[in-house]
Amino acid sequence: MSDGAAKITNKDGRTAELPILSGTHGPDVVDVRGLRKETGLFTYDPGFASTASCKSAITFIDGDEGILLHRGYPIEQLAEHSNYLEVSYLLMYGELPNQQQREQFEHTISRHTMVHENIRTFLGGFRYDAHPMAMLVGTVGAMSSFYHDSTDINNPQHREISAQRLIAKMPTLAAYCYARYTGRPLLYPDNSLSYVENFTRMMFGVPAEEYTPNPVVTSALELIMILHADHEQNASTSTVRLTGSSGANPFASIAAGIASLWGPAHGGANEAVINMLDAILYSGETIEQTIARAKDKSDPFRLMGFGHRVYKNFDPRAKLIQKMCHDLLADLGGDQPLFELAMELEKATLADEYFIERRLYPNVDFYSGIILRALDIPMNMFTVMFAISRNVGWISHWMEMHEDREFRIGRPQQIYVGAPRRDYPA
Ligand code: ACO
């Protein structure tokens, strides 16, 4: 794994020879673990943009080439041939399941979809207008008080049962958070339905009527969920790892990930896309005026759903979801003026020099926001949908961390820039 070394010398002349590590793909990495011991120096990297916090075998991203691999499989192939539960198995266990493993996994997940009855009561304690994300953070954290029997993080079986419970129960909890928000009755899961159908039934179904899943909605959500299942060491996944590194139980660790995802710079971006489109429609501004504002450096306005910190090429997930978005908008009715505006904006930016030069493409949030709107998923559920999908990524990283022999509690350093030592006034 080691290939060459980087030399760093401090001002006293003490030198550290830092090994260079190589992964399967991606740039080489300077292993700075010996730096402090050898030289007394440490590194400064706000935002961790130049720092690998762990070794991981789950997901690989090449932002320049627009590549996303899960356990080595390109996202395009998974989106075409797989489904969300199979991708979940792949992320968790490292290999695609054979038929028996697939059936066993689906059976296990479907047998864990119900939540403890007291969680339903617990949900009733939230204020009538609580945001579904606020309820989800709270109830997932509270799961540790209901499932004590699987919170020994040093027991691999406990870790696996917790992981399965989290995957199985997250759609139930998410649908219940929405039902509480709207005042609708909480339906029990129906294990004869698929993972996604079960969720949409609990979201939109009512006890007074038979629920018939809509195949267009099911396949659109299945795709969105596959595309959001994991994205290596993003903010929420790193939060789950950092929280879990202290030995916190899995439910508490995943609740921390949900809290991180909630921020508009992370999971809230697709909601921001719809807000922006609504605002443009409301103001009566033309596409040309909107684009001119986005380019104007004296105006803080940016086009939401364009550009990406990692992808400087078309986000491969956006490419996949773009086609579904175009098909859906052609088939479904709904908010036509908003959809037309979105498509005009997409076309105009893809032909605009400013966006081409800076490699600013529509990102996955641009299309997922529009699709979720077209599917009548309420805006305050957009980030919740993301949380249901990313849940398996968080869990897989949490499990991988606990199996990693190099794993230590996460504890970054700092550059202290406060007052020098001084005495309390006498
Ligand atoms: N609209 C207009 N101009 C933009 C946009 C945009 N959406 N994004 C970047 N630019 C411009 C910048 O002004 C800058 O121009 P300059 O070189 O003339 O100064 C150039 O493109 C590079 O921008 P950076 O901010 O350096 O790019 P960075 O990679 O740091 O930012 C980010 C990525 C934060 C996603 C940015 O593109 C953005 O704000 N996009 C809109 C918000 C959004 O859609 N976020 C969701 C991203 S997906 C996710 O992270 C979950």
Query: Which tens digits make up the pLDDT trace of 352-393?
Result: 999 999 999 999 999 998 889 888 889 999 999 999 999 999
The predicted pLDDT at position 223 comes to 95
Instruction: Indicate which residue's Cα is closest to atom 48 of ligand 1.
Output: 308
Give the residue, by CA position, lying nearest to ligand 1 atom 44.
305
- C-alpha to C-alpha distances, 62 to 71, 309, 380, nearest whole angstrom: 14, 12, 31
Residue 380 amino acid letter: N
Of all residues in the chain, the percent with pLDDT exceeding 90 is: 80
Q: What is the mean pLDDT of residues 322-327?
A: 84
Q: Given this model, what pLDDT does residue 332 score?
A: 67
User: What pTM was estimated for this model as a whole?
Assistant: 0.92
User: Tokens for 157?
Assistant: 């079986």
Separation between Cα atoms, residue 70 and residue 68, nearest integer Å: 7
**Residue whose token pair is 């899943």:** 213
Torsion of CA 229, 234, 239, 244, to 10 degrees: 60
As a whole number, mean pLDDT of residues 115-122 equals 92
**Of all atoms in ligand 1, which is nearest to the CA of residue 302?**
1
| Ligand 1 site-directed mutation target among 358, 365, 367, 383, most atoms within 8 Å of CB | 358
Q: pLDDT tens digits for 268-307?
A: 888 889 999 999 999 999 999 999 999 999 999 999 999 9
- Angle made by CA atoms 248, 249, 254, in degrees to the nearest 5: 95
Tell me what pLDDT residue 96 has: 98
% of the chain beyond a pLDDT of 70 = 98
Centroid of ligand 1 to alpha carbon of 307 (angstroms) = 5
**What's residue 323's pLDDT?**
85
Task: Give the three-state DSSP class for 73.
Answer: strand
Best residue among 308, 311, 386 to mutate for probing ligand 1's pocket (most ligand atoms within 8 Å of CB) is 308
Amino acid 1: pLDDT: 46
Query: According to the model, what pLDDT value does residue 4 have?
Result: 84
What is the pLDDT, as a whole number, of residue 333?
Answer: 63
328 touches 371 (CB < 8 A): yes
* Sign of the torsion angle spanned by Cα atoms 179, 199, 252, 410: negative
| Cross-strand pairs, 324 | none
Measured from CB, residues less than 6 Å from any atom of ligand 1 are: 266, 269, 294, 302-309, 358, 360, 363, 365
Determine the average pLDDT of the residues in 37-47.
94
Q: Is the pLDDT of residue 324 over 90?
A: no
Between the CA of 101 and the centroid of ligand 1 the distance, in Å, is 42
Give me the pLDDT at residue 3, please: 61
Q: What is the rounded average pLDDT for all residues in the chain? A: 93
Whether 2 has a pLDDT exceeding 60, the answer reads: no
Known catalytic residues are 308, 365
Query: Which atom of ligand 1 is the closest one to the Cα of 312?
Result: 29
For range 32-39, the mean pLDDT: 94
pLDDT above 70 (res 101) = yes
Residue with the nearest Cα to atom 24 of ligand 1? 309
Identify which of 199, 225, 381 has the alpha carbon closest to the alpha carbon of residue 317.
225
Residues 124-136 pLDDT 10s: 999 988 999 999 9
End-to-end CA distance of the chain: 59
